[in-house]
Amino acid sequence: MSRPGARAGNTGRGIGVALTLLWSVIPIYWAVKTSFQTDADARANPAQYVPLRPTLENYRTLLTADSDVPGQIRRAALNIVVECGAATVVTVLLATLAGYAFARMRFRGRNVLFYAVLATMAFPPYTTLIPLYRIMSLLGLVNTYTGIVLVYVSGFLPLATWVLHNYFSSLPESIEEAGLVDGAKRLQVLWHLLLPLARPGIISTALITFLFAWGQFLFPLVLSSDLSTQPLTVVIASLQGRHVVPASLLNAAGVLAIIVPAVLALAFNRYIVNGLLAGSTR
Amino acid sequence: MITRTSRRALLAGAAGAAAFALTLSACGGSSSGGSASGGSSQTSGVTITVALASDPPPKAALDEFTKETGIKVNWVNIDWDSLQTKISAAATAKTYFADATDVDWSRVGQLGKLGWFYPMETMVDTKTMASDMPQLTSFTKDGHVVGIPYDASFMVTTVNEKMFQKAGVTEMPKTIDDYTAALNKVKSAGVVKYPLNIPFAAAEGLSTYWYETTGAFGGTVLDGAGKPQFTTPDSAGYKAATWMVDAIKNGLVPPGNINVTDSQGSQTLMAKGQVASIFSDYSGGIGTLYNIKSASSVVDQVKYIPTPGVTGTAANLGNPDGIGIPKQAKYPQAAAKFIEWFTSAKKQEDFAGLNGQDKIFQGYALPSHLSVLQKMSESGTLPEGKSLVPMLQGSKPVFPEGAPAWYPQFSNAVYTNLHAAATGSMTVDAAIKTIADTANRLASGS
Amino acid sequence: MSLTRSATPGPGLTAEARPTAPVRRRGRRFDPLPYLLVAPVAIFIVGLALIPAVFTVVQSFFKVNPLDPPTRFTGLGNFRALLADDAVIGSLGNTAFYVVVGVTLSTVLGIAMAVLLQRPFRGRSLVIAVLILPWALPGVVEGILWTGIFDPNAGLINSIVTQVGQIFGTGAGGTTLLLGQNRLLTISLIELVQVWQITPLSVLLILAALQLIPGELYEAAEIDGCTRWGAFRRITLPLARPGIAVCMVQAVIATLNVFDQPYVLNGAAATGSSITMQTYFISFQDLDFGQGYALSLMITVVTLIISLVVVRTIYRRVEL
Which residues on B lie below 8 Å from A221 (Cβ)? Answer: 78, 82, 85-86
- B291 and B438 assigned to the same domain: yes
Q: Could A118 and C45 be called an inter-chain contact, meaning their C-beta atoms sit closer than 8 Å?
A: no
* Mean pLDDT (chain A, rounded): 83
Cβ B7 vs Cβ A218: under 8 Å: yes
- B71 and B118 assigned to the same domain: yes
- B126 and B182 assigned to the same domain: no
Residue B330 lies in a domain: yes
- Coil vs helix vs strand at B223: coil
Residue B18 lies in a domain: no
CB under 8 A, 24+ apart: contacts of A56-61: A58/A246, A58/A248, A58/A249, A58/A251, A58/A252, A59/A35, A59/A252, A59/A256, A61/A249, A61/A252
- B205 and B246 assigned to the same domain: yes
Surface of A (88-107) touching B: CB under 8 A? none
Which residues on A lie below 8 Å from B285 (Cβ)? Answer: none
pLDDT range class, residue A281, cuts 50, 70, 90 = low
- B130 and B249 assigned to the same domain: no
User: How far from each other are the two terminal CA atoms of chain A, in whole angstroms?
Assistant: 32
Q: Could A281 and C5 be called an inter-chain contact, meaning their C-beta atoms sit closer than 8 Å?
A: yes
Q: Could you say which DSSP state residue C14 is in? A: -
Q: What is the pLDDT of residue A178?
A: 57
Whether residue B432 has pLDDT greater than 90:
yes
pLDDT range class, residue A129, cuts 50, 70, 90 = low
- B307 and B173 assigned to the same domain: yes
Q: By the CB < 8 Å criterion, does B72 face chain A?
A: no
Query: What ipTM did this prediction achieve?
Result: 0.82
Residue B193's closest chain C neighbor by CA?
C173
Q: Could B14 and A130 be called an inter-chain contact, meaning their C-beta atoms sit closer than 8 Å?
A: yes
Distance CA B421, CA B41 (A): 53
- Nearest CB partner across the interface for A265, out of C11, C40, C133: C133
Q: Tell me the average pLDDT across B341-364.
A: 85
Q: By the CB < 8 Å criterion, does A272 face chain B?
A: no
Q: What is the pLDDT of residue B138?
A: 82
Whether residue A140 has pLDDT greater than 80:
yes
Q: Which residue of B3, B4, B6, B7 is the best one to mutate when testing the A interface, meaning the one whose CB has the most A CBs within 10 A?
A: B7
- B309 and B288 assigned to the same domain: yes
Q: By the CB < 8 Å criterion, does B4 face chain A?
A: yes
- B296 and B344 assigned to the same domain: no
**On the CB side of A5, how many CA atoms lie within 13 Å of its CA?**
3
Distance CA A197, CA A167 (A): 9
Whether residue A272 has pLDDT greater than 50:
yes
Residue A120's closest chain B neighbor by CA?
B1
Q: Could you say which DSSP state residue B359 is in? A: G
* b (16+ CB within 10 A) / e for B428-446: beebbebbbebbeebbeee
| Total Cβ atoms within 10 A of residue B191 | 20
**Smallest CA–CA separation between A13 and chain B, in Å?**
30
Distance CA C320, CA C266 (A): 48
Whether residue B35 has pLDDT greater than 50:
no
The count of structural domains within chain B is: 2
- Nearest CB partner across the interface for C53, out of A94, A100, A128: A128
Surface of A (228-267) touching B: CB under 8 A? 233-234, 237-244, 246-247
Which residues on B lie below 8 Å from A41 (Cβ)? Answer: none
Q: What is the pLDDT of residue B30?
A: 33
Look at the domain C84-314 and name its fold.
MetI-like fold (1.10.3720)
Q: Is the pTM of this model over 0.90?
A: no
Q: What is the pLDDT of residue A132?
A: 77
Chains that touch C (3 or more CB pairs under 8 A): A, B
Q: Tell me the average pLDDT across B16-33.
A: 34
Distance CA C202, CA C188 (A): 19
For CATH 1.10.3720.10, list the domain ranges present in chain A.
68-280
| pLDDT tens column, A161-219 | 988 988 888 888 776 665 555 555 777 777 877 888 888 899 999 999 999 999 888 78
Q: Which of A52-61, B413-422, C176-185 has the lowest mean pLDDT?
A: C176-185
Q: Could A101 and C37 be called an inter-chain contact, meaning their C-beta atoms sit closer than 8 Å?
A: yes
Residues 6 or more apart in contact with residue B300 via CB below 8 angstroms: B291
- B298 and B418 assigned to the same domain: yes
Q: Which residue of B22, B80, B407, B412 is the best one to mutate when testing the C interface, meaning the one whose CB has the most C CBs within 10 A?
A: B22
Q: What is the pLDDT of residue A245?
A: 67
pLDDT > 90 fraction of chain A, expressed in percent and rounded: 30
- B325 and B191 assigned to the same domain: no
- Domain span at residue B232 reads 155-315+406-443
Phi-psi region of B253 (alpha: psi -120 to 50; beta: other; left: phi over 0): beta
Task: Provide the CATH number for the domain around residue B102.
Answer: 3.40.190.10
User: When comparing pLDDT for B294 and B147, which is higher?
Assistant: B147
Q: What is the pLDDT of residue A242?
A: 52
Q: Which residues of chain C have pLDDT under 70?
A: 1-29, 169-178, 180, 314-320
Q: What is the pLDDT of residue A94?
A: 96
Q: Could A28 and C145 be called an inter-chain contact, meaning their C-beta atoms sit closer than 8 Å?
A: yes
Give the CA radius of gyration of chain A.
Answer: 23
- Nearest CB partner across the interface for A68, out of B55, B79, B268: B55
Q: What is the pLDDT of residue B337?
A: 95
Q: What is the pLDDT of residue A17?
A: 92
Provide the sign of the torsion angle of the four alpha carbons C162, C163, C165, C171, taken in this order.
positive
Chains that touch A (3 or more CB pairs under 8 A): B, C
Q: Could B31 and C70 be called an inter-chain contact, meaning their C-beta atoms sit closer than 8 Å?
A: yes
Q: What is the pLDDT of residue A130?
A: 66
CATH superfamily of A68-280: MetI-like (1.10.3720.10)
- B330 and B220 assigned to the same domain: no
Distance CA C138, CA C127 (A): 21
Q: Could A219 and B263 be called an inter-chain contact, meaning their C-beta atoms sit closer than 8 Å?
A: no
In chain C, domain spans: 84-314
pLDDT range class, residue B6, cuts 50, 70, 90 = very low
> In which element (H, E) is residue C126 found?
helix C124-131
Q: Tell me the average pLDDT across B7-33.
A: 35
Residues 6 or more apart in contact with residue A271 via CB below 8 angstroms: A200, A203, A204, A207
> In which element (H, E) is residue C6 found?
none
- B161 and B310 assigned to the same domain: yes
> In which element (H, E) is residue B365 found?
none
**Smallest CA–CA separation between C271 and chain A, in Å?**
24
Could you tell me which of B89, B159, B336 has the C-alpha nearest to residue A225?
B89
Which residues on A lie below 8 Å from C196 (Cβ)? Answer: 23-24, 27
pLDDT range class, residue B26, cuts 50, 70, 90 = very low
Q: By the CB < 8 Å criterion, does A64 face chain B?
A: no
Distance CA B105, CA B209 (A): 15
pLDDT range class, residue B214, cuts 50, 70, 90 = very high
* b (16+ CB within 10 A) / e for A224-262: bbbbebbbbbbbbbbbbbbbbbbbbbbbbbbbbbbebbb
Whether residue B446 has pLDDT greater than 70:
no
Residues 6 or more apart in contact with residue B375 via CB below 8 angstroms: B349, B354
**Smallest CA–CA separation between B165 and chain A, in Å?**
25
- Nearest CB partner across the interface for B16, out of C67, C264, C296: C296
Query: DSSP string spanning chain A?
Result: -PPTT-HHHHHHHHHHHHHHHHHHHHHHHHHHHHHTS-HHHHT-SSPPSS-SS---HHHHHHHH-SSHHHHHHHHHHHHHHHHHHHHHHHHHHHHHHHHHHHHH---TTHHHHHHHHHHHHHS-GGGGHHHHHHHHHHTT-TTSHHHHHHHHHHHHHHHHHHHHHHHHHHS-THHHHTT-SSHHHHHHHIIIIIHHHHHHHHHHHHHHHHHHHHT--HHHHHH--STTT--HHHHHHHHHHSSS--HHHHHHHHHHHHHHHHHHHHHTHHHHHHHHHHHH--
Q: Tell me the average pLDDT across B72-96.
A: 84
